[in-house]
Amino acid sequence: MSMLVVVTENVPPRLRGRLAVWLLEIRAGVYLGDVSKRIREMIWEQIEQLAEDGNVAMAWASNHESGFEFQTYGKNRREPVDHDGLRLVRFLPDVGN
């Protein structure tokens, strides 16, 4: 079991309901829980199937150097990149303005 945080933006109510089955919604769109790897992977499958045009960031505790891992879904200015074995976040240019 490990701590899991899921942050959602503009996702359908159906996905929010599915996340609330396994995790506690501590703020609008922010979910927290202590789940197994199997449950975490099942939650990610639900995100990929139901998030539509929204975006999601999911982070969990791990034994990596940083102490956590994360993955993202959907369009966002923040893009995960690997740098010498560390996952970092790169900001893409704001093309909307």
What is the residue-wise DSSP string for 8-31? EES--HHHHHHHHHHSEEEETTEE
Give the total number of structural domains in the chain.
1
Answer for the pair 88, 81: CB distance below 8 angstroms, yes or no.
yes
Any domain includes 96: no
**78 lies in a domain?**
yes
Percent with pLDDT over 90 in the chain: 62
- Give CA–CA dist 29/31, Å, rounded: 6
pLDDT tens-digit profile of 50-93?
999 999 999 999 887 788 888 999 887 777 777 777 777 777 77
DSSP β-ladder status, 68-73 and 55-61: antiparallel
Q: Is the residue at 97 inside a domain?
A: no
> 79 and 89 in contact (C-beta within 8 Å)?
yes
